[in-house]
Amino acid sequence: MTCPTCGSEQLLLSVPTDLRSYLPEASERVAVCTRCLALEPTDEESPDTADFIRISDAFPDGEAGVAMALAVGLLDSLALYRSEIAALLERVERAGTDPLLVLDRLDADAGVEPHFDVDRRRTQVEQLLYE
């Protein structure tokens, strides 16, 4: 699949049942752009495990990676999805990964051009996590 935002390849993800409620459409599967990180629901079949290295080595593996991808995909609408993003990033932290460090690494990764201002969102995410 290709991203409707930038035309790059997308990574297909299966969303665990307990994470679906954080998405606007409670989707079972989503596609994350490997370049701009835009997120969209999809009906396409996805593999059992996601290969996050296709996006960046900044992403954690497993369910923490899915939670991080969902949070990053929602960051362009922080005002609308504030509580969902906070809950997803707390899941990432509980799994042993620093979500702020992931954002820093994504910002520094030349192969990734997020569809949002990473520096601005990072500051807002930091406030969200440590209020």
| 10-residue mean pLDDT series, the chain (131 residues) | 93 94 89 95 84 93 95 93 95 96 94 91 89 72
What pLDDT score does 24 carry?
84
pTM of the model: 0.93
Residues 6+ apart with CB under 8 A from 72: 32, 37, 39, 103, 106, 114
Q: What is the DSSP letter of 68?
A: H
Per-residue pLDDT tens digits for 46-82: 777 789 999 999 999 999 999 999 999 999 999 999 9
